[in-house]
Amino acid sequence: YDSLLKKATSAKADADAAEKAAKEKEAALVKAEKQAKKEAELAKKMEQKYEADKIKLDKAELEAMKKGDTAAEKALVDKEVQEKQAAQVLEKAAKADAVKEAKLAEEAERAELAAKKAEEKAKAAEAAAAKKLAEQKDAEAKKAAFLAM
């Protein structure tokens, strides 16, 4: 009975540890979501800056065209370069967010599975301990009845 009680206690401790780990993973997930939100806000600010720069370039391009300058060509090239750079920055941020979210979801899923398994072990150990105790009491009752005869 004592060994079963120890197993049940150990399984309960495992379940508690797994539950704690799951909570920590959940906290990490929340933290990652906040980080992703910050990065999304940063990307939005960069996009706004890009839009503002684009408007400035468009104006500069118009003025250069009015002057009949070759500066229009240079402004056009600069504009294209800046557009490509901004698109690359936004794409990198999106990819990084997707990878982080996938990793965190996978970790949280594993922790949840481990918690469920530990909980099942604890329940099984408790049931075995209860069964063993019932068998012991039954045997004691039969012995007492036999001795009473």
User: Could you read off the pLDDT of 63-90 as tens digits, one per residue?
Assistant: 766 776 666 677 788 889 998 998 898 8
| pLDDT value of residue 31 | 92
| 27-56: average pLDDT | 90
Within a 10 A sphere around the Cβ of 133, how many other Cβ atoms?
Answer: 13
Amino acid at position 69, single letter: D
| pLDDT value of residue 38 | 93
| pLDDT value of residue 48 | 92
| pLDDT value of residue 5 | 82
Cα separation, 72 vs 58, whole angstroms: 10
Cα separation, 7 vs 131, whole angstroms: 14
DSSP state of 69: -
Percent of the chain with pLDDT strictly greater than 70: 95
Q: In whole numbers, what is the pLDDT of the chain averaged over residues?
A: 85
Cα separation, 35 vs 26, whole angstroms: 14
